[in-house]
Chain A
Amino acid sequence: MTTASTIPISTESEAPWQLPYRGTVGMVCLIIAEAAIFAIFFVSYIFYIGKSLSGPTPREVLELPIFGTICLLSSSITVHWAVAALRKDNIRSCALGLASTVLLGGIFMVSTAEEWYHLIYEKGLTIRTNLFGTTYYSLVGLHATHVIVGLILLSIALFTALTGRIKEEHSEKLEVVSLYWHFVDAIWVGVFLVVYVIGR
């Protein structure tokens, strides 16, 4: 049995038809959704500043994580280099850019781990201690989770670069990953301001 139908198609040559790259659009959507999730955690943090019924307070235990912050923010620059290098088909600089990004992100994670160790074992602040602990660990922890996901993605990209499987035509895809990484960095600026500047 066959069914016939008609669809309009054009025989004449037409103006070029260009649509955005779907990886980019998808990532932008994801970033909007994630930003909304972070916004709710930020609101909770701000709403509960100074409302804990018991200590310790942020002023007593928090120190400015300057070094980690510098590392994380500069990794935005290195990932940008990596993408730019790939666009020029320069695989070696691309791999170098990716490697430094992973390294800088890794240093940031180590500094966060140290901070948590210090808070938990020396200051006795856990997620159950008080509202500060609750909001602090959930917000910073949510961000750290995103850093880890980003590091995994970047490491996969680095691996393909080192084994020589990454090509110029993959630059759009790498750009999507870098978009995510820039987002993670931007969120950190917010976390830094809210937790370490306003919150103290």
Chain B
Amino acid sequence: MSPATRVMEAVDETQAVKRPAFEVIYDWVTTVDHKKIGIMYIVYALIFLVIGGVEAILMRIQLAVPNNHFVSPQVFNQLFTMHGTTMIFFMAMPILFGFGNYLVPLMIGARDMAFPRLNAFSFWVSAFGGFLLYFSYLGGSGLYAAGSAPDVGWFAYAPLTAKVFSPGHSTDYWTLAVLLSGIGSIGTALNTVTTILCMRCRGMKLTKMPLLPWLYLVMSGMVFIAVSPLTAAQIMLMLDRYVGSHFFDTQAGGSAVLWMHYFWIFGHPEVYILILPTFAFMNEIIPVFSRKAIFGYPAMVAASVGIGFISLGVWAHHMFAVGMGPAGNTFFVFATMVISVPTGIKIFNWLATIWGGKVIFSLPMMFAIGFLFQFLIAGLTGIMLSAAPFDWQLTGSYFVVAHFHYVIVGGIIFSLFAAFYYWYPKATGRMLNTTLGKWHFWLFLIGFHLTFDFMHIPGILGMPRRIYTYEASRGWGTWNFIIGVGAIFQAIAVIIFAYNLVRSYFKGDIAGHDPWDAWTLEWATPSPPPVYNFAHDPTVNSRRPLWDLKHPEEPDSDFE
């Protein structure tokens, strides 16, 4: 059964007439098109990436030398709270949802998401949450007392958040912002699941679906089970603060450990909610630039589902130091270690895909390889931390900070950059500049390793997290200076990247509809794709429909 093809003509509307700015803005604000919403998510997340990055640089400047008084202890507390909250809820989550919004309907051959208006609603709710968080700088205790931003840490442990310890409204801003981001995430996840289950084009059985929608399916399922508890916990915290209930009020018999459980029931799966989409990018990028079909498709799906399930049951490895008793500790140690099995399967499958392939070292592929290395190292320090006695020594030290930044920056951010270089041509019709891209890659890679490799050392030497300065006699000074230099390198790299994004939009090489000679459906549309994506609903017979088109003599559909 060879699929017939038809050439689609699409007039590029943007060239037609120049419209007044107001109309353009109105169009974006009221849009329900999944591609525009996806791009808005990404732009808004990039803005918060810059804000969170500035906060990180400020903290690193403060810590670069001993006995520094660049910022006050209060400001330092606010910085790490805002940095963590911003990066997790208003950078990482929205940017991944943005990519999902953009790519999922295109890759499954649908014309839009299942509920376009809910999609716009979810976006605006979570964007509003982000603005609200930063409004706290103005509104906390009035415009003139500027700087009453939240300072309770991104985990907001009880009873620090109780009215007595956290007077004023800074914590209220935090809890409302997180609540709104949670509602937005649940809405988008619901939309994603429904889109994938109900809108696939003819012939795309679940077994023939590309891996990216598969992983977004698992990830969205996890959002229901992990983000909802956080939402519930935020409601309880708000009740405590506004109407005087006692959920986390230790004075009235309430429990602070209960909050920890609720937070980490969300917090741990959250890291897998973030990592699954980045796995999804890898699953698309690595095969295309190895010129080979992904190795072990069924195993990849099974491993993702496995990761989803196991990660829901290991949250308390963040609480070894609380004292859960030997039974609790043992359970969570082993449950945590089990996760490395499906994760290992994934890494082996990627290596097997590269192995023997004709590897093309394009920019997306370079970032992908950086991802593989760094994710592996992060997994190894993760296994170390999952041993309770080891964790007792190092929890609350910079070792843990180094570990999770290895995952988040070395894994998630690297794969996001790979995804930008890979899909930017599709979204804008222009290629990103390769020279600037290489500068970005090398500076960021070097900066990353300077910062986070060396951060393990002061951790082992006993430097605690969340201190605003330290004595010179401790011997942590040199290490912190190197860490700071690395942070500056990364900042410069991100500036180059941002410049590249803007410049290439106007001056980049024209991409054409399929610059990478790829295989999935999004590359069958013009770049950028028109409203409603496909003029004719596509039909697929295999996981690589465009391969079948380009190679009618040996289509995948004969083998699967």
Per-position 1/0 for B230-268, Cβ under 8 A of A? 011101100100011111000011110010001001000
Contact of B198 among A9, A10, A25, A30 (CB under 8 A): A25
Q: Tell me, rounded to whole Å, the shortest Cβ–Cβ distance linking B516 to chain A.
A: 14
Do A20 and B8 form a contact, CB below 8 Å, given A25-B193, A37-B232, A44-B236?
no
A2 touches B11 (CB 8 A): yes
Report, as a range, how many residues of chain A touch the other chain: 35 or more
Cβ-defined partner of A2 (8 Å) among B4, B10, B221: B10
Are A7's CB and B239's CB within 8 A?
no
A25 lies within 8 A of B197 (CB): yes
Question: Which chain B positions have C-beta within 8 A of A70?
Answer: none
Q: Number of B residues whose C-beta is below 8 Å from A?
A: 73
In the complex, are the beta carbons of B12 and A1 less than 8 A apart? yes
Chain B residues positioned under 8 Å from A48 (CB to CB): 253-255
Known contacts: A7-B6, A47-B258. The answer to whether A32 contacts B224 by CB under 8 A is yes
* A-B contacts at CB below 8 angstroms, number: 178
A95–B223 alpha-carbon span in the complex (Å): 37
Rounded to whole angstroms, the CA-CA distance of A17 and B512 in the bound complex is 32
B7–A8 contact, CB under 8 A?
no
With an 8 A cutoff between CB atoms, is B473 at the interface? no
Per-position 1/0 for B510-525, Cβ under 8 A of A = 0011100000010011
Task: Encode contact with B along A9-38: 1 for CB under 8 Å, 0 otherwise.
Answer: 111101001011110011001101110111
Q: Considering the complex, give the chain B residue whose CB is closest to the CB of A141.
A: B239
Please report the C-alpha to C-alpha distance between residue A9 and residue B3 in the assembled complex, in whole angstroms.
Answer: 6
- Of B140-148, B340-348, B536-544, the segment with at least 4 beta carbons within 8 Å of chain A is B536-544
Nearest CB of chain A from residue B522's CB, rounded to whole Å: 11
- What's the Cα separation between A183 and B8 when bound, in Å? 46
Contact A7 B534 (CB under 8 A): yes
Stretch binding the partner chain, chosen from B25-33, B166-174, B199-207, B438-446: B199-207
What is the CB-to-nearest-CB distance from A17 to chain B, in angstroms, rounded to a whole number? 5
Q: Give A contacts to B, CB under 8 Å.
A: 1-12, 14, 17, 19-22, 25-26, 29-30, 32-34, 36-41, 44, 47-48, 51-53, 127-128, 130-131, 133-135, 137-138
In the complex, the 4 A-B pairs of residues with the closest C-beta atoms, listed nearest first: A36-B228, A40-B232, A10-B539, A3-B526
Q: Which of B's residues lie within 8 Å of A, judged by CB?
A: 1, 3-12, 15, 114-115, 186, 189-191, 193-194, 197-200, 202-203, 220-221, 223-225, 227-229, 231-233, 235-236, 239, 243-247, 252-255, 258, 262, 265, 429, 512-514, 521, 524-527, 534-541, 545-546, 548-549
